[in-house]
Amino acid sequence: MMAIQTSSDKELRNIIFQRERVIVKFIDEDCLICKALAPSFKTFSEDPTYKEVTFLQMEASENPVSSKEVKLTGTPFFAIYFRGTLRDCALLSSEAEVKKFLDRLVACKE
């Protein structure tokens, strides 16, 4: 069971190569949807279903390199990585959409 880790441009590169499955949530402190999704993101991070997933959170404005890499278009913006490769990214606004993203990440095989 892993807590949500706060990450940065510098750390993200290392983490996505160290961990097989990573989900990153890009947030903005003024983003109401980010705040609304925070409890469910925390719940997912504690769910045994997603024990293989590393949960990261990044402040979008403070991490321009990663934001640019995922072509960030707003917040909360989610990116999933499998074995160091960006698999998908999108602007998500509901718990159901985040769950679908997580399930897709868990299903990654090669």
Is 95 exposed, middle or buried, given 0-12, 13-18 or 19+ CB atoms closer than 10 A?
Answer: middle
Instruction: Give 19-46 pLDDT, tens digit per residue.
Output: 999 999 999 989 999 999 999 999 999 9
Instruction: Give 52-75 pLDDT, tens digit per residue.
Output: 999 999 999 999 999 898 898 899
- Residue ranges of alpha helices (H) inside 1-110 are 9-18, 32-46, 64-69, 95-107
Q: What is the value of pTM for the model shown?
A: 0.94
What are the backbone dihedrals phi and psi of residue 30, each rounded to the nearest 5 degrees, phi first?
A: -95, 5
pLDDT for 2 equals: 64
Instruction: Give 1-14 pLDDT, tens digit per residue.
Output: 468 999 999 999 99
HSE (side-chain half, CA atoms, 13 Å) at 16: 19
Q: Which residue has the tokens 């499955």?
A: 21
Strands laid side by side in the 77-82 sheet: 5-6, 53-59, 21-27, 77-82, 85-91
Q: What is the H or E stretch that residue 80 is in?
A: strand 77-82
